[in-house]
Amino acid sequence: MKISKLIPNWALNNKTNLYIFSGIEQIAKCENGVWYIKIERCDKQGHCCKNVSENWAHGRGEGGNCLHLKQDANEMLCDLGVKRPFSCCKGEGNESICNIKWERVE
C-alpha cells in the first residue's frame, strides 16, 4: 500500500497522527509513523456510546447512553449523521467491547 506517497512530506513525521476517512468512517490511520488499515468495520451496536460519563460532552440521555445514540432497525446509530463530532469518528472503542480491528501496514 502506497498511502504515504499521497501525503505531503511536511505531514509525514512521527509527531503527527494522520487519519483517512470514507465519509464519516475512519478507514486508515498513521500513529507515530506506523500505518494501519481497518480490516473489520463497526458492528453498529453502540457499545462505545452506552453508559457514558455524567459529564459526557455530547449529552447524556436517559439510561446513561449518549443523547445522540438512537435505535434504527437492528442498529444503534448516531442521530447526528455527518455532523457527528470528529472525536467520535476517530475514537477508539474499549477493546473489550469494540469489534473494530486494525491491521498494521508495512
Query: Mean pLDDT across the stretch 5-14?
Result: 80
With CA atoms as reference, report the closest residue to 76 among 62, 66, 61. Answer: 66
Spatial neighbors of 16 by CB under 8 A, at least 6 apart, are none
Domain extents in the chain: 3-105
pTM: 0.81
Say yes or no to pLDDT of 7 above 90.
no
Q: What does the buried/exposed string (b/e) look like for 65-104 if buried means 16 or more CB atoms within 10 Å of the residue's CB?
A: bbebbbeeeeebbbeeeeeeeeebeeeeeeeeebebebee
Spatial neighbors of 72 by CB under 8 A, at least 6 apart, are none
Question: How far from the centroid of its chain's Cα atoms is residue 40's Cα?
Answer: 12
The pLDDT value given to residue 25 = 92
Query: What pLDDT, in 10s, does the model give residues 20-74?
Result: 999 999 999 988 888 899 999 999 999 889 999 999 999 999 899 999 999 999 9
The pLDDT value given to residue 93 = 73
Query: What pLDDT, in 10s, does the model give residues 76-94?
Result: 999 998 899 988 888 777 7
With CA atoms as reference, report the closest residue to 64 among 77, 51, 74, 79. Answer: 51
